[in-house]
């Protein structure tokens, strides 16, 4: 079920009404409703894969409780290894099996031996990369005595499968989300209204910005050799805004929806395209995944408090794993390597934490140096996104090669230039609103709150009208494939 579908528009009010009707009863009644709603939500895609969510939930629920019952180090280590093996094993089979088969064949072909193995017809279950990491973080935290295991199976199953963030995050930690299923939820009008504003902004980013960009991005990337360098360059920029509008839009809708039910998720995007270096970008982009890799991979490897050689190793490991997490394709690995190369000089010069405050804090306009830093960071990010979007490494190389041709200095050409200008206008609208609200959690959190009510609601209705009139063709969220 897509957030931008009629099905969801019917689903959410029904669940919302039923949820708050049972508010006066036991918390278990609300949790049971949420679990049924979450499984129904996922079953709209393919009910057969619900068994994987149940298996992952049951495995880590049992292992978490076993960890709390024993102090034997070897036993605890074996339990942790079992959890990691079960979850990563499932993820590896569904996501990477054919990749490793193809890589195995490529190695033999390189040495002159042709193999013709049968590829498995494997469907990648939506959301498996997200809920797998969510349950893993629970088991690891219980093992490390950072949280206590829960005896409440219903709350734990809800934590794993809560429908707003089930298929594309944010990847919530048990420390933040699980206790919220144990507490009584009381309807908070302010929280619900803010959730609706965030949903509205998320829909604008997804339906208006991302889906309109997608039409041209698909057209350009699918036939790069037929377009001029200037068109290809603009196409890469459009993809940067497509993936941002698509993924951060999903996160906004997920976070806003959770607030309707009295839950608080962590912020997942913090206006990353206003970053002044790549380190700041990764503190602001897909924050739930970045912090997951930091806490469960980078720090256990020694982080930055090790010798220089190990620092370099750790940076490449975390970005390579991040790239591989996104998909079974060498393009994602190269994307990860590029980001590691961007990040490395900042780390070695101890400048990776020089931009912790919001850019141009307290000022309406940034300085020349800040503008330059943001542009350079954005261009570097766009260049890496080409590999992320391309179907193969060779396609990405052709794309980049054609950008740096004489045709780069020609006028970009599109099938429908009026719609292209409209799409660019929506991107500018996005940038202006987010720049003005760059210190908040989402662009509509505080914007227009001081305006008179009729004007404020007229503004919200204008956004809603833009969504209905100018929304692009309905498309799945990009991160569903990861």
Residue at a domain's end among 135, 154, 183: 183
pLDDT in tens, 113-129: 555 555 556 677 788 88
Report CA Rg, the chain: 23
Q: What residues have CB less than 8 Å from 450, skipping those under 6 apart?
A: none
Whether residues 387 and 421 fall in one domain:
yes
Whether residues 392 and 472 fall in one domain:
yes
* Separation between Cα atoms, residue 55 and residue 52, nearest integer Å: 5
Phi, psi (rounded to 5 degrees) for 197: -65, -40
Q: Which of 469, 482, 2, 3 is nearest to 243 (CA)?
A: 482
pLDDT in tens, 36-63: 999 999 998 888 889 999 999 999 999 9
Residue 260 belongs to what domain range?
190-276+355-481
Domain count for the chain: 2
Cα–Cα–Cα angle for 356, 341, 407, rounded to 5 degrees: 105
Residue 212 lies in a domain: yes
Residue 209 lies in a domain: yes
Residue 321 lies in a domain: no
User: Is 326 designated active site?
Assistant: yes
Whether residues 272 and 148 fall in one domain:
no
| Omega before 170 within 30 of 0, i.e. cis | yes
286, 326, 355, 442: the catalytic one is 326
Whether residues 374 and 429 fall in one domain:
yes
Distance in angstroms between the alpha carbons of the first and the last residue of the chain: 16
- pLDDT at res. 125: 79
- pLDDT at res. 82: 95
Q: Which of 59, 115, 68 is nearest to 88 (CA)?
A: 59
- Transcribe 428-456 into DSSP letters: HHHHHHHHHTTTSSSTTSSTTTTS-HHHH
Q: Which of 38, 387, 416, 385 is nearest to 246 (CA)?
A: 385
Residue 19 lies in a domain: yes
CA distance readout (Å), 6 to 2, 3, 9: 8, 8, 5
* Separation between Cα atoms, residue 115 and residue 108, nearest integer Å: 7
Residue at a domain's end among 149, 183, 217: 183
Residue 313 lies in a domain: no
- pLDDT at res. 27: 87
pLDDT in tens, 321-336: 999 888 878 999 999 9
If one compares 92 and 207, the residue with the highest pLDDT of the two is: 207
Q: Using the predicted structure, report yes or no on whether residue 184 has a pLDDT greater than 80.
A: yes
Q: Are 200 and 463 in contact (CB under 8 A)?
A: yes
Q: How confident is the model at residue 169 (pLDDT cuts 50, 70, 90)?
A: confident
Whether residues 95 and 238 fall in one domain:
no
Whether residues 70 and 142 fall in one domain:
yes
Whether residues 251 and 104 fall in one domain:
no
Residue 25 lies in a domain: yes
Residue 292 lies in a domain: no
Least confident among 17-26, 283-292, 377-386: 17-26
* Separation between Cα atoms, residue 468 and residue 461, nearest integer Å: 10
Average confidence score pLDDT of the chain:
90
Whether residues 29 and 144 fall in one domain:
yes
* Separation between Cα atoms, residue 299 and residue 27, nearest integer Å: 37
pLDDT in tens, 413-446: 877 778 888 899 999 999 999 999 999 999 999 9
If one compares 324 and 475, the residue with the highest pLDDT of the two is: 324
Phi, psi (rounded to 5 degrees) for 60: -75, -25
Q: For the range 172-175, what are the long-range contacts, defined as Cβ-Cβ under 8 Å and sequence gap of 24 or more?
A: 172/134, 172/265, 172/266, 172/288, 173/134, 173/137, 173/138, 173/141, 173/266, 174/134, 174/137, 174/138, 174/141, 174/147, 175/141, 175/146, 175/147
Whether residues 369 and 472 fall in one domain:
yes
CA distance readout (Å), 293 to 68, 133, 313: 25, 10, 14
* DSSP one-letter code for 404: T
Task: Report the SS3 class of residue 426.
Answer: helix
Whether residues 377 and 425 fall in one domain:
yes
- pLDDT at res. 303: 85
Mean pLDDT, range 289-314, rounded to an integer? 92
Please count the helices (runs of H) and the strands (runs of E) in the chain. Answer: 18, 0
CA distance readout (Å), 134 to 52, 130, 264, 443: 14, 6, 16, 27
Residue at a domain's end among 138, 158, 183: 183
- pLDDT at res. 109: 55
Q: What residues have CB less than 8 Å from 193, skipping those under 6 apart?
A: none
Residue 293 lies in a domain: no
Place of tokens 């806003």: 256
pLDDT in tens, 333-392: 999 999 999 999 999 999 999 999 999 998 999 999 999 999 999 999 999 999 999 999
Whether residues 148 and 253 fall in one domain:
no
Whether residues 137 and 222 fall in one domain:
no
């Amino acid at each position: 079920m897509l957030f931008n579908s009629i099905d969801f528009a019917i689903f959410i009010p029904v669940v919302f009404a039923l949820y708050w009707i049972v508010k006066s009863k036991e918390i278990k009644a609300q949790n049971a409703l949420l679990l049924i709603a979450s499984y129904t939500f996922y079953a709209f895609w393919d009910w057969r894969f619900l068994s994987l969510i149940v298996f992952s939930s049951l495995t880590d629920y049992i292992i978490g409780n076993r960890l709390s019952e024993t102090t034997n180090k070897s036993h605890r280590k074996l339990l942790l290894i079992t959890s990691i093996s079960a979850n990563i094993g499932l993820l590896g089979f569904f996501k990477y099996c054919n990749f490793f088969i193809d890589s195995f064949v490529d190695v033999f072909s390189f040495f002159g031996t042709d193999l013709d193995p049968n590829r498995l017809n494997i469907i990648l279950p939506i959301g498996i990369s997200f809920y797998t990491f969510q349950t893993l973080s629970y088991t690891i935290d219980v093992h490390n005595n950072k949280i206590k295991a829960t005896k409440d199976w219903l709350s734990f199953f809800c934590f794993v499968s809560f429908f707003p963030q089930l298929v594309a995050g944010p990847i919530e930690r048990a420390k933040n989300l699980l206790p919220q299923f144990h507490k009584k939820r009381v309807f908070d009008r302010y929280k619900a209204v803010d959730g609706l504003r965030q949903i509205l902004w998320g829909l604008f980013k997804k339906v208006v910005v991302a889906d309109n960009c997608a039409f041209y991005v698909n057209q350009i990337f699918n036939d790069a050799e037929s377009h001029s360098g200037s068109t290809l360059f603009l196409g890469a920029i459009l993809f940067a805004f497509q993936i941002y509008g698509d993924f951060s839009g999903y996160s906004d809708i997920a976070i806003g929806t959770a607030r309707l039910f009295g839950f608080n998720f962590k912020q997942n995007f913090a206006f990353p395209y206003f970053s002044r270096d790549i380190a700041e970008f990764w503190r602001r982009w897909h924050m739930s995944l970045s912090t997951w890799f930091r806490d469960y991979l980078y720090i256990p490897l020694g982080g930055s408090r090790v010798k220089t050689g190990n620092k370099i190793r750790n940076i490449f490991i975390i970005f390579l794993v991040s790239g591989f997490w996104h998909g079974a394709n060498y393009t994602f690995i190269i994307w990860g390597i590029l980001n590691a190369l961007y990040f490395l000089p900042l780390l070695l010069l101890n400048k990776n934490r020089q931009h912790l405050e919001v850019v141009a804090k307290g000022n309406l306009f940034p300085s020349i140096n800040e503008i330059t830093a943001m542009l350079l960071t954005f261009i570097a990010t766009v260049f890496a996104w080409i590999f992320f979007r391309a179907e193969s490494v060779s396609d990405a190389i052709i794309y980049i090669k054609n950008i740096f041709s004489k045709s780069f200095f020609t006028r970009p050409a599109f099938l429908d230039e009026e719609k292209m200008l409209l799409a660019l206008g929506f991107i500018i609208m996005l940038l202006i609103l987010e720049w003005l609200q760059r210190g908040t959690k989402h662009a509509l959190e505080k914007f227009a709150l001081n305006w008179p009510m009729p004007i404020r609601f007229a503004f919200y209705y204008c956004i809603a009208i833009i969504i209905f009139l100018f929304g692009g063709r309905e498309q799945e969220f990009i991160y569903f494939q990861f």
